[in-house]
Structure 1
Amino acid sequence: MLRSTITMLWRALAVLSLAAGVIGVFLPVVPTVPFVLVAAWAGSRGWPALERWLLEHAVYGPPIRQWRERGAVSRRAKWFATVAMSGSSVMIWFFPLPLWLQASVCSVMFCVACWLWMRPEP
């Protein structure tokens, strides 16, 4: 009973992550690949067939394998993420949010961009 519940939780995480990744295909402010990476990770624990399908996928398979093998991120993905985060940082200043929240979100995105550019490339 407990094992099947844990398997179902892993599968639920995989499906939710994959759904968020699919949403990211259509909404530029939602990242796709990180969610697909989480889906593959969760799938490896509770849904091996989904993990295998993701690893063999023509578009998402190579980034997943590169991340797993060397923690590598392609230069194209780095540029795309940096441009998207920069655009989001500009847009957030037009929302009626407290200054501390705007500055915090922009700071987090800046730190993520710095970390991302420090990752090796395939």
Structure 2
Amino acid sequence: MLKTLARLSLIVAGWMSLALAIAGVVLPVLPTTPFVLLSAGCFAKSSPRFHQWLLRQKYFGQMIRDYQAYKGIQKQTKIRAISLIWLSMTLSAVIVGKAWLAVMLFAIAICVSLYLWRMPNAPSPSQHIV
């Protein structure tokens, strides 16, 4: 009974974190990558079927496989993510128009950018070891 409850809880947590990851694609303050990785971890411990499904996804699958294999992400993914973070944070700061909120958004952008940049580089698909 307790094992089933723990498994179901992990499945629910996996789907909730995946929903947050998808929302993070369009919302500037909500990060995508940590929620995708959390979702993969939850599914890996609770549902091999959902885990394999997530690994096969076009947009998130490669990121998860790279993180599992190399504890990092590809350099072009980093550059794309950091560029989108700064674009969305700048746009948000302009729309909001409050200096204190703009400072907070830029502080978040700096922290997330540094975190991503310091993460190890996974090899590009052409360099993956088969």
TM-score for both structures, normalised by structure 2: 0.74
Is 1:108 matched with 2:105? no
Q: State the AA in 2 paired with 1:102.
A: A
| Structure 2 equivalent of residue 83 of structure 1 | 83
| Structure 1 equivalent of residue 16 of structure 2 | 16
Gaps of 5+ in 1: none
| Structure 2 equivalent of residue 54 of structure 1 | 54
Contact 1:44–1:51, Cα closer than 8 Å, also in 2: yes
In the alignment of these two chains, the number of paired residues is 120
Q: State the AA in 2 paired with 1:38.
A: L
**Between 56-65 and 69-78, the greater mean CA deviation after superposition:** 56-65
Q: State the AA in 2 paired with 1:71.
A: K
| Structure 1 equivalent of residue 67 of structure 2 | 67
Contact 2:93–2:105, Cα closer than 8 Å, also in 1: no
Contact 1:72–1:119, Cα closer than 8 Å, also in 2: yes
Q: Deviations over 1:21-55 (max 9, x none)?
A: 33455x26355443322211110122221112222
Using a 3 Å threshold, how does the CA distance of structure 1 residues 50 and 13 change in structure 2: closer, same or farther?
same
1:96 shift after superposition: 5.2
1:15 shift after superposition: 0.8
Using a 3 Å threshold, how does the CA distance of structure 1 residues 5 and 96 change in structure 2: closer, same or farther?
farther
TM-score for both structures, normalised by structure 1: 0.78
SS of the aligned residue for 1:112 comes to: helix
Q: Deviations over 1:51-73 (max 9, x none)?
A: 12222345432221110122221
Aligned-residue RMSD, C-alpha: 2.4
Q: Percent identity?
A: 25
Gaps of 5+ in 2: 123-130
Q: Distance in 2 between matches of 1:58 and 1:98?
A: 38
